[in-house]
Structure 1
Amino acid sequence: MDLKQELQKIGIFLNDAVIDYINQYCDNEIVRAKEKQREKDISSAVCAFVELKRTDSEIYQLLNKHFCVENISEAQDYIKNARIHIQIINLRIYCTEHGMTLAEFRQYAKDHTLEKKLESTSKLREMSPEKLKAYLEKI
């Protein structure tokens, strides 16, 4: 049974233009949800590859093979974002293990513009959490 018949069954009568609009809206929402889920799946996969210490070229090949990501700059963005995300998590773990609360870490990251620095400086994405913390406090 389609939407029009279901609505008529419960006593709601709409013209075809409204029903077409509702159906088109639902179709568009489905497409957007699929795109969002694909991006989330790719991001999760890239984070896993980065944590497994795969090289960028290996990650490009895997993205192309399993997610049909053929655009190198798109793949580079995924890898860069994954490295930033993982570095923030590693620093958070390190700081909380050394007595910092999560609220204090959030403020620390904000005060030191952690995400912006990681985004702009690739060498920071490769540092150990101890060295990264020392670098941030030195500046």
Structure 2
Amino acid sequence: MMHEEYKRSCEDELDWAIVCQLHEATLQISKSCFEFKKICVGLIGASLAVLVKLTDNSIDHSYFVVPLLICLGFWIADFSAYYFQRKTRNAMNKKFKAIALRNSISEYISEELEVSWFSAAFNHSMSLYYALSSLGLIGWLAYVKDWIGV
């Protein structure tokens, strides 16, 4: 059985151009999410080193508040980027579906991704922030209870 050669219509060309742009945006957002995690860990380490110098090696609440605030800020930036990455992927999927429909491909199944701020904030890719925050809160509790820093 011979298949007819695919010839892109003007609408297909426009949709493919949009898909390429959306794909590039998705890749850039993905790279940003990874960079957020690396910078967060580095900044927490650097801030703790500065706090050691500023407090003359005496532990206080700032050792826990500053890293938690840094972690919170990067978590917000990262889950926002993740949310827009998912929105971008959904937009790509809609363009693929439109191309398929115009070309009489009825069995094409378009992936519908769940997109919500809640699902973006609480997904497995944010586990670094959960771990860092948990360690910070456990350390702070230990400090408040005089288990450390006595």
Normalising by structure 2, report the TM-score: 0.34
Q: Which structure's residues are more often helix, by fraction?
A: 1
Normalising by structure 1, report the TM-score: 0.36
